[in-house]
Amino acid sequence: MPINKLGVHALVFTGGTTPAEVEYTVTQAKQSGFDILEISLHDAVNLDVAQARTALRAAGLDVVCSRGLAFDADVSSSDAAVVARGARLLQDSLQITAELGGTHFTGALYSALGKYGQPLSAAGRANVVAVLQDLATDARTKGMTLGLEVCNRYETNVINTASQALRLADDIGHDNVLIHLDSYHMNIEEDDFVRPILLAGDRLGYIHVGENHRGYLGSGHLDFTSFFHALGQIGYTGAITFESFSSAVVSPTLSNDLAIWRNLWDDGPALASHAHGYLTSALEGNRVSA
């Protein structure tokens, strides 16, 4: 069996985090065979943390939380008030993750999730470093790690490649800040699927697997063979989470931020079961051929 725990993003099943939605999502993730449920905290206002933690524990699921920021709460801004709002949002999200029982908080923790009209400023980057240094210190006291998800140019101007993420992590200077690679974003920004994974090496802490169009795995053009071979080459034992979005399941905020306009699938549970089988086969095949 694969040594990696497999996860699924909650937006495969539901667009929000009300108690009923969380209960349904947890049930479907478990029935699809996954070990981890990733919950976006963009809808945290509706999240009953105690109820969600109880549901996750009852199902035997681990949890990872993720988020990006907003332009009025952006730690890469040069406006001190905007940065402060972003820093509070990150601290609140870290606390929610801990209360849910999670040990990893990841995503575009360094900027708003959207297209910028200008390059990142030196002052903005310095603010990112300072805020994430404080967040990493707080995370360490909770026994937690942070992930820097490398996103494409249409979703951030802070880090678009693994090498940029590593430089940012070096400047933050905390060993509980790890690199989060995503095949969807890598397809846009990286030269190939191999070198970024080898470059990240043992600092790779989390993986998103998604197709180039964010639909069914194997229905697009991504070279997952080289992707999984590279993970095997570095001996990656961390979590691998399936991420897919369709206009059939709408988040009031995140769907617009990610420009999810197309209906790529209608049946989330069927999609999830297919993804679990695909990932399991890819990892098992990689292990046998090693």
Q: For 180-236, what is each residue's pLDDT tens digit?
A: 999 999 999 999 999 999 999 999 999 999 999 989 999 999 999 999 999 999 999
Range of the domain at 72: 6-289
Q: Give the type of residue at 176.
A: N
The answer as to whether 67 is a domain residue is: yes
CATH of the domain at 50: 3.20.20.150
Question: 110 pLDDT exceeds 70?
Answer: yes
Q: Is residue 43 within 8 Å of residue 14, measured between CB atoms?
A: no
169 located within any domain: yes
What is the tally of structural domains in the chain?
Answer: 1
Residue 240 lies in a domain: yes
Given the residues 21, 149, 155, 211, the one annotated as active site: 149
With CA atoms as reference, report the closest residue to 108 among 153, 68, 164.
68
- Assess whether pLDDT exceeds 80 at residue 250: no
Residue 189 known to be catalytic: no
Assigned token pair, 44? 């945290």
Which comes out higher in pLDDT, residue 136 or 244? 136
Which residue bears the tokens 């069927």? Answer: 270
The answer to whether position 152 is within a domain reads: yes
Please give the distance of CA 67 from its chain centroid, rounded to a whole number.
7
Active-site hit among 21, 38, 190, 243: 243
Question: Is it the case that residue 157 has pLDDT exceeding 60?
Answer: yes
| Residue 1 within any structural domain of the chain | no
Q: What is the DSSP string of 210-224?
A: --TTSSSTTSS---H
> Is 96 part of any domain?
yes
Residue 243 annotated as catalytic? yes
Q: Please report which confidence band the pLDDT of residue 265 belongs to, taking 50, 70 and 90 as the band edges.
A: low
Q: 193, 219, 191: which is closest to 207 by C-alpha?
A: 193
Alpha-helical runs (H) found in 101-219: 122-141, 162-172, 183-189, 195-200
Q: What pLDDT, on a 0 to 100 scale, did the predictor assign at position 263?
A: 78
User: Scanning the structure block, which residue is given the tokens 């009209």?
Assistant: 117
Spatial separation of the C-alpha atoms in residues 234 and 217, rounded to whole Å: 23
